[in-house]
Amino acid sequence: MQSMLALGLLLLLSIHAEMALAAEDGQFAYQGFATANLTLDGLAGVTPNGLLLLTNTETLGKGHAFHPAPLRFLQTSTSSTAMARSFSTSFVFAITSNYDGLTSYGIAFVVAPTLNHSASSGEQYLGLLNTINGTASDPILAVELDTIMNVELHDIDSNHLGIDVNSLISRQASPSGYYNNENGAFQELRLNSRRPMQVWVDYDAQSSRLNVTLAPVQVPKPRNPLLSEVIDLSTVMADTMYIGFSASRGYGLGMRHYVLGWSFSMDGATPLLDISKLPTLPCMGPQSRSKMLDVVLPLVAALLVIAVLAMIFFFFLWRRRQFTKVQEDWEDEFSPHRFAYKDIFYATEGFSSRNLLGVGGFGRVYKGVLSASNLEVAVKRVSHDSKQGLREFIAEVVSIGRLRHRNLAQLLGYCHRKGELLLVYDYMENGSLDKYLYNGNKPTLQWSERYRIIKGVASGLLYLHEEWDQTVIHRDIKASNVLLDNQLNGWLGDFGLARLYDHVTVAKTTHVVGTMGYLAPEVIRTGKATPLTDVFSFGVFLLEVACGRRPISISKDVTQIVLVNWVLERHRKGSILDAVDPRLMGNFNIEEVTLVLKLGLLCSYPSSSARPSMRKIVQYLDHGQSVPDLSPTYMSYNTLAMM
């Protein structure tokens, strides 16, 4: 009798547990998160107006937000085999920043077997895993919305969506955007545009197909998904899994990751989100014009058109002739080197993805072969979704087109056709220097090769700063912008951010551009670039080449490591040689390595007035002169940032 009662009690408890789990297997919709019962950790929190904030602007790290109860993702079929269930979800997100052009890491929708992600890493790992690949015992499915291009993770660009299964190397990825329902045309979207966007993730268990769709919040769900992948989730999922979001924030200025609304449904379509009920985002970045100004300006313009219609007609005729002349003036000097578009198109096989060499901050680079001369070339296709692209294109043509130096990438010609902005260079068969420093598949560069590359880049910078007709400030010196020819000689390239000044003129630009980790403190503070800000970047570059480490990295305990600080600490302890790239295995010239490391610290001095000129740097490198000892007042980069 007692055994019968115990069996009945056990059966009752089992039924109760199944019913509790089934209640969580339904659907939900959050129009804001003010009253949502989510499990949060790390940097994640909910703002007073109901925004789910995964990262903040002050702290480096990661944040997670999960639905608190597990959901059953597998069901037992008639053959007693576990089958994955269909599901669909939709969420509205936004990635915001205080500054244009600077970004941090992205955000991911996650299906995971646990709520504990304390062991996962931030930055490029998005708070999902602590290595590139996960384990079969802890399966993870994620849809990443990434705003950083990481070569280690095989990212296609710095603005993409990807499907990740137990790995941060996406099974499938695509540039961010959507397909227009009217004409099927692809419309690009910038994930860090500060504007809310909606994502749909739909899994059909019958066809084992996972679809991912993206669109602005004002646009209905596109018929054609951005990503579509066949995945049998029954081999990936555990019986019960948790769903939620993960994001990480690296060395970006004023970055935040928001989720405005979220809906989910198992075995059916996800509930529609009412966009009008979602919480509003805080204002970030440049302030928009007042509505009064938007109303007054069209009225004034209309009155002027009516009052002086005849004068405007003649003005536009004159202006059109003048503009045509001005527009072509900068091209006159380079007209013998202007390529026909069809020649470049055929050389790159129609800009085929097979010929893609890499993606930079302002465009894609393709390998090509000019049929007329059988010459291998690299073709840079400049991004031109705004006037910024045209300005960078003209800057590069005007600067590189007249520069002649053995260590500066040679511009062979260009093509300017309507919206197409193309630059043609000598092809460097060994690619960029960063691949040899960080890609384990590349052979290790010997110290003599590294030292020759350093001296070559220094010589090129001296030419830019002092030996040409004007002062050229490069503004983006880093390993990925140093190209290697077949003899492993270093060539400084990518002049898309370069600015030219007379030697007696002071630079007046105040727009912060460049790459975080290489930016001098005064650039971040004032936005003003000078030859000494190039010297700072070159100093970080010296340490990067000697140490084989990135300017900013993350340790095993998820602590940020600034390379300048890391080398400075070893110098102060009298063990600066401990900073040398271990892959050299001690095979280096001690005097040269010590010179490069100390010179790197001197060039990256926080105070610009204490940095040497490029002429003095070249003298140090050519003649092996001893670098002066650092001042005891040398502050670390972190100390300076805190001040």
Write out the catalytic residue numbers. Answer: 476
What is the helix (H) or strand (E) element at residue 22, kind and residue range?
A: helix 2-24
Helices 590-603 and 531-547 cross at an angle (nearest 10°) of: 140
> What are all long-range contacts of 505-508, with beta carbons under 8 Å and residues at least 24 apart?
505/471, 506/530, 507/473
Distance (Å) of CA 321 to CA 316, 324, 327, 415, 569: 9, 5, 10, 22, 62
Contact between residue 359 and residue 148 where contact means Cβ atoms under 8 Å apart: no
Helices 614-623 and 590-603 cross at an angle (nearest 10°) of: 170
Helices (H), 351-508: 387-400, 433-438, 447-462
Distance (Å) of CA 281 to CA 159, 194, 333, 396: 21, 9, 49, 37
Give the C-alpha separation, 27 to 440, whole Å: 46
Give the C-alpha separation, 550 to 432, whole Å: 15
Is the alpha carbon torsion for 293, 298, 302, 305 positive or negative?
Answer: positive
Q: How many CB atoms lie within 10 A of CB 157?
A: 18
Distance (Å) of CA 636 to CA 184, 252, 412, 483: 53, 19, 42, 30
Give the C-alpha separation, 256 to 437, whole Å: 31
Which of 631, 604, 615, 455 has the alpha carbon at shortest distance from 533? Answer: 604
Rg of the chain in Å (alpha carbons): 28
Give the C-alpha separation, 530 to 472, whole Å: 9
Give the C-alpha separation, 415 to 417, whole Å: 6
Query: b/e map of 131-144 (b: 16 or more CB within 10 Å)?
Result: eeebeeeebbbbbb
Contact between residue 263 and residue 270 where contact means Cβ atoms under 8 Å apart: yes
Give the C-alpha separation, 180 to 215, whole Å: 9
Distance (Å) of CA 388 to CA 100, 341, 382, 395: 12, 22, 10, 11
Contact between residue 189 and residue 219 where contact means Cβ atoms under 8 Å apart: no
Give the C-alpha separation, 643 to 638, whole Å: 9
Q: What's the helix, strand, coil split of the chain in %, to 5?
A: 30, 25, 40
- Angle at CA of residue 158, ends 443 and 427, nearest 5°: 50
**Residue 412 φ then ψ, to 5°:** -85, -30
DSSP designation for 467? I
Q: How distant is the alpha carbon of residue 139 from its chain centre?
A: 26
